[in-house]
Amino acid sequence: MDEFGPLSLQPFRGKGWFQQRRPNRLRATYTRPHGVRHLLAALDLKTNKLYGHASKTKKHEDILRFFNVLRRRFHRSEKLYIILDNFSPHHHKKVKAWADENNVELIFTPTYASWLNRIECHFATS
């Protein structure tokens, strides 16, 4: 499981068959009235499926909401192993309590070694 963001739509000059003019464009640093979004995603290594959830923030409440979605995808008797980096919301006491109650084991990557998590390559720039 990992987070990606903030995601922000930025305007880019387009191409087309229409007549070329100088369209009015917004600067890349324009005010974002609706804010930005963060992508929370998890990779199921058994089926090679990527599950994602868009969120306005990356707080522990958002992490728990996404974990609940993941937990519902698998039978309760099946233990889930979730590999995480050392982002502070992952270490929140409510997240750890939820994991104990829901047959989930949280596995943290070593500091500065988040590249060990196989989902990282899905967030790399190409």
Cβ burial, residue 29 (10 Å; 0-12/13-18/19+): exposed
Domains of the chain, first to last: 2-6+34-123 (3.30.420.10)
- Give per-residue pLDDT as tens, 73-82: 999 999 999 9
- Give per-residue pLDDT as tens, 41-96: 998 888 989 899 999 889 999 999 999 999 999 999 999 999 998 889 999 999 99
Tokens of 84: 């995480």
pTM of the predicted model over 0.85:
no
Whats the size of the chain, residue-wise?
126
Strand ranges in the chain using DSSP code E only, listed in sequence order: 2-7, 37-44, 49-55, 80-84, 104-108
Scanning the structure block, which residue is given the tokens 């939820």? 98
Q: Which residues contact 14 (CB under 8 A, 6 or more apart)?
A: none
